[in-house]
């Protein structure tokens, strides 16, 4: 669960910028790709400019233990939690 929390916090700091990154826990390491479309509205006389995210997607390439074995079940669980 610690890796999920760390990954969610990291993704929150990306502000929609796509990135592939690695999260290291005590015994597990996760390789993750985050993508999103940043949409914006320039505004007009009545509204202020604004932006929002659409199509956010997290792909977990793998969750690896200390022996570098990929735990596919943990990777699927983490991907489900982050999406």
Would you kindly state where each structural domain of the chain is located, as residue ranges? 2-82
pLDDT for 31 equals 97
Average pLDDT over residues 62-66: 93
Please name the helix (run of DSSP H) or strand (run of DSSP E) that holds residue 40, with its range, or none: strand 29-41
Residue 1 has pLDDT above 60, yes or no: no
Three-state SS sequence of 4-24: HHHHHHHHHHCCCCCEEEEEE
CA distance 6 to 50: 28
Residue 15 has pLDDT above 80, yes or no: yes
pLDDT digits (tens, 9 = 90+) for 16-53: 889 999 999 889 999 999 999 888 888 777 877 787 88
pLDDT for 50 equals 80
């Amino acid at each position: 669960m610690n890796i999920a929390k760390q990954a969610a916090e990291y993704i929150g700091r990306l502000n929609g910028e796509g990135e592939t990154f690695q999260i290291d826990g005590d015994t597990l390491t996760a390789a993750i790709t985050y993508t999103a479309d940043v949409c914006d509205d320039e505004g007009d006389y009545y509204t202020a400019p604004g932006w929002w995210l659409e199509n956010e997607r997290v792909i977990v390439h793998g969750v690896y233990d200390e022996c570098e074995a990929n735990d596919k079940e943990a990777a699927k669980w983490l991907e489900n939690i982050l999406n």
